[in-house]
Amino acid sequence: MAEQKKLGFFESLKAGLEKTRNTITEKIDEALKMFQTVDEELFEELEEILITSDIGVNTAMEIIEKLRETVKERKISDSSEVKAFLKEIISTMLKADVQHLQTEGNPAIVMVIGVNGVGKTTSIGKIAYQLKQQGKRVLLAAGDTFRAAAIDQLQVWGDRVGVEVIKHHEGADPAAVIFDAVQAAKSRNVDVLICDTAGRLHTKKNLMEELKKIFRIINNEIPDSSREVLLVLDATTGQNAVQQAKVFSEAAEISGIVLTKLDGTAKGGIVVAIKAEQNIPVKLIGVGEGIEDLQAFNPNDFVDALFDA
């Protein structure tokens, strides 16, 4: 049954990456057929393909440099062998020390940040659903008090997945909401508290102060709890997502990325760019609109789904 589920996840991942695969893999295959031998011209062609697929200039150059070294070390002369080494290099680049979501502790804290419109609240709802499926007791905190719609949307997801939401009125102090949520989580023996926060990049200083205040409360109230700080990014925005990761990293110590809408873009190469340029592991990816379409990120599966026709 577990094997069947894994197969189902891989198939939905493969389907979700179809647009990206058409952009990257088909062009790489064409280049490898065009250049029968491995030479500098082939490397330049492959580098250009990677750059245009939103992997980014610096990351593409790094991948091709490693490919040059590998080809030289292993004395590869046949272009048909290059693709396997390219996959191996990208897969290695994507690996992180901790790839899975940390939910140990009593309660564990999952802080979710990101700008409006990236799928932040939807991601929170889907994470809550998955944790409940694992038998964990989950509580949500509506810390994005800047917009009434954000509070209402989180409540809709709470109702949908059967999870309680701790909330205040619009304009309330987010730290006060988190404080109340932490107290509720402790008194109700909750396993995981997921906190929504406002993401307003144009007021970065305010955002940083707000987050610091929230972290101080968490540190004071539950100092031994494990915590995740997840940044939600929209894959369809391409290189703009890398810039958002850079700015948010200055405001908080991000432990992982949730990359949404991979199924709606040809810019899936952004997964590689974020890890290479910001050194933040992608932990969850969205490959569809269904409640189970937010998947744990597996570098090997991702690269297989990306390169296999």
Question: Six-digit token pair at 287?
Answer: 């490959």
pLDDT of 189 > 90? The answer is: yes
Reported as a pLDDT band with limits 50, 70 and 90, residue 250 is confident
Per residue in 26-76, pLDDT tens? 889 999 888 878 899 999 999 999 988 888 899 999 999 999 999 999 888
| CA–centroid distance for 209 within its chain | 24
Per residue in 129-139, pLDDT tens? 999 999 999 99
**Rounded to an integer, what distance in angstroms lies between the CA atom of residue 151 and that of residue 195?**
12
pLDDT at 138: 97
Question: Model pTM?
Answer: 0.89
**Rounded to an integer, what distance in angstroms lies between the CA atom of residue 233 and that of residue 239?**
11
Q: In sequence order, what are the residues at sequence separation of 6 or more whose Cβ sits closer than 8 angstroms to the Cβ of residue 203?
A: none
